[in-house]
Structure 1
Amino acid sequence: MAQAQYFSGLIVRVATERDKTAFVELFDHFAPRLKGYLMNQGADGALAEEIAQDVMVTLWRKADLFDPKKSSASTWLYRIARNRRIDRLRRQKTAELDPEEPALQPTPLPDVADEMDARLREERVRAALTKLPDEQKEVVRLAFFAGQSHSEISESTGLPLGTVKSRIRLAFGRLRQLIEADEAVDVD
């Protein structure tokens, strides 16, 4: 999470100050990753390189459109890369487009039953979380809701790393017991 905030801050610096050092750092980090992502999506090396460079130029020109409240830097840049790749595919002859291309497929609608099950599970987890001791509840919140790593939790709380790991392990054990007990009541 700290790394995501760091990269978001770099984009903000590019937008507000036209900070070339921030841009170089963003370029060095994201350009090779974007190229790899595009190649995994089926683009050849040259096309992937070209689109990745185009995305980074877009970052320089349109950094002011980035809103760190709406998405992370990586989400924003990968979305631009995905859209640029789709644009390239569409510019090719329609006959050359593969109708089965994953990038061109609509996102499937969620199954209502799966959604209901997920909501029920979420309610059970939230209810079980309230029954955890405060020290376990806090490390679970930091790890899974704030997205911190175990070492980040250790740094932010001042707890030893082993204590953080133990509390998370104990919290999971307790959550499992509470959820299984709740499910057993529903079955009866």
Structure 2
Amino acid sequence: MASEPVSDRDLVNSLWAGDTAALATLYDRYSSMVYTLALKMLANPAEAEDLTQEVFVNFWQRRQYNPDRGSIGSYLATYTRSRAIDRLRVSRGRATILQRFQRITAASSRSANPVDHATQQEQRQHLRAALDQIPPAEREVLEIAYFQGLSQSEIAAQLGIPLGTVKSRCRQGLLRLRSLLEHQRS
């Protein structure tokens, strides 16, 4: 006679007690749902895989799930959706900064009259000044991402730091840079 499957609640209790095999079982049960949701929102298989791993690692490390407040499936879906939205915000911010940089670069490659040249020079100075005001660790990650074109995983490997550290430095750096550039405009 086959044994009854272990409940999610029992698996979570086992995980919190240090049984990492419980995480593997939870991953087997819910990773497909998490990945599918992440893929629908991010429209990028590599990002969806990365987010799926992040969701389960954070679930294990942060221990914020309370079985008395709802099912683990609902918790993971909500958490995945929230993290996917965060990633979309960051990528939109990154795209905005990259577009701004590309406009400045493209404009400087065209022959410009003296007024255009002065404006472009001023924009480059504003961007450089804003970059110089953010913390060096955040600036380094952003410069590698935008000027060398490396992915966050590649940056983590190059710098020898965890991927999560690269992600948080990127996010914080972009937020600071956006704020500084908006402040310079006003």
Report the TM range for the smaller structure's normalisation. 0.3 to 0.5
TM-score (norm. length: structure 2): 0.45
Instruction: Give the number of the structure whose residues are more often helix, by fraction.
Output: 2
TM-score (norm. length: structure 1): 0.44
